[in-house]
Structure 1
Amino acid sequence: MDDWTTIHIVAGGPKELIPDLSPSHREGIFWIAVDKGVKYLMDEGIVPNMAVGDFDSISEKEREIYEQTVPLFKIYEKEKDETDLDIALSFALEKKPKIIRIFGATGGRIDHLMANISLLIKPLQINGPLIELIDRQNLIQVKGPGQYVLKRKLDKPYISFIPLTNKIAGLTLKGFKYPLEDRQIPFGSTLCISNELIQEYGTYSFEKGILLVIESSDG
């Protein structure tokens, strides 16, 4: 397969939660549509490189048109062991990009949202690329132990750190309104909700665990 540094996956969540996919952000991107995401992209004038899913959320006529237009159109049975997004992400990881951004994967059913967030753990298991799950209000990442730099975003000023494992060991936050130094954060703690950067850049680091990092706005 060709080398791509950036892959965008557009799933079939509520369209109103998908940020603007304007022409200025389309160059050099490999696009994967998931189920109804193919309609969202085609309506925006973007022909995805690949579309995967059971396509039960679009009409038969739409499916036939898209199947003739999209270079790689893969139809799966509705009853299967993985979600459509899981399948799309596996394809994306095979291409070994530097970053994968996922849109249209929030809103609607809570079980779908939780499953989609859990998929962000996949690249940690293979030392894979950065993955971001993005909607109009949130940018979500999952991180393993290490030190990271965050740039302040005026449109997403709130930053929350949520343990996904039994505990986060040695969490340190610098450049934040509420700094921390070598703290143990247990699963279920709300200590690190709605923090803010007080300078252009801040850092966070931890020694053990898996951390959900959410940059968000009120709307």
Structure 2
Amino acid sequence: MVSTAVITAGGDVTTVLALARFAAHLPDSADDVRVIAADQGLALADRLDLDVDVLVGDLDSVDPEQVSRAVAAGIDVRRHSTDKDATDLDLALDLALAGGARHIVVCDGGGDRFDHQLANVLVAARAARHARVTVVTTQAVVSVITDARELRGSVGDVVTLLPVFGRVDGIATTGLLYQLSDESLVPGSSRGVSNELVAPEARVTIEAGTLLAVQPGR
């Protein structure tokens, strides 16, 4: 069993800023870490200098030469039909959870499909029922909260709290400009949008539901 799974998904990111954002959320040690590349995420893993353990997906958007190199390197390749009912990220999350991961970091390189990016965040949020989940994209860091999470950043950084899958109750915060105490938020409400850090670390706790803490960064 592994304690942490790093999943790379999305496009071949080349900008220094985005790569630095991803790298900042990777585990400090390679011990007990499993790296899973979801289809084109193989290119992102290469850019992040990660040793991939498993490549999974229908492999319709990854460079065939990269796949050949992965096979030659002994990477476990799990190819699925293009007619599958799950996204490549969904398959990668299933592998991470089946391997016993207690913390999952999804590095989503995005691309030109907003529907894919939105689906990726929501699919990852579902996995938070079984593990602590963080989604890092080229534009934001999303911490999925099902009980309590610490949020780190610089004073003045934006933090938006968004409920998903239903009502979130018992929300309490410290370290944010607009503090919440035993509050509730419902999907579709803008009340949690554009809060901000007043300290380098904030804490958000909830009693029921699933809450996304979105930090766009500067």
TM-score range, shorter chain: 0.7 to 0.9
TM-score (norm 1): 0.83
Rounded Cα–Cα distance in structure 2 between residues aligned with 1:64 and 1:132: 30
SS of equivalent residue, structure 2 residue 189: coil
Check if 1:27 corresponds to 2:25: no
Amino acid aligned to 1:27: A
Q: Any residues of structure 2 matched to 1:35-54 within 5 Å, and which? A: 35-54=39-58
Contact 1:120 1:141 in 2 (8 A): no
C-alpha offsets along residues 117-169 of structure 1, whole Å, 9 cap, x if unaligned? 111233344xx22111102431112222x3x2524312992111111144322
Give the superposed CA RMSD: 2.7
Aligned to 1:80: 84
Runs of at least 5 residues in structure 2 that lack an aligned partner in the other structure: none
Change (3 A) 1:155 1:16: farther
Compute the displacement of 1:67 (Å): 1.8
Residue identity over aligned pairs, in percent, reads 24
Question: Which portions of structure 1, spanning 4 or more consecutive aligned residues, are displaced by more than 6 angstroms?
Answer: none
| Residue of 95, 103, 110 corresponding to 1:106 | 110
Question: How many aligned positions are there?
Answer: 212
Runs of at least 5 residues in structure 1 that lack an aligned partner in the other structure: none
**Structure index of larger Rg:** 1
Q: Any residues of structure 2 matched to 1:130-145 within 5 Å, and which? A: 130-144=132-146
Q: Any residues of structure 2 matched to 1:150-169 within 5 Å, and which? A: 150-154=150-154, 157-169=157-169
**Stretch moving more, 149-158 or 16-25:** 16-25
Rounded Cα–Cα distance in structure 1 between residues aligned with 2:117 and 2:160: 17
Aligned to 2:188: 188
Change (3 A) 1:94 1:62: same
Rounded Cα–Cα distance in structure 1 between residues aligned with 2:165 and 2:108: 26
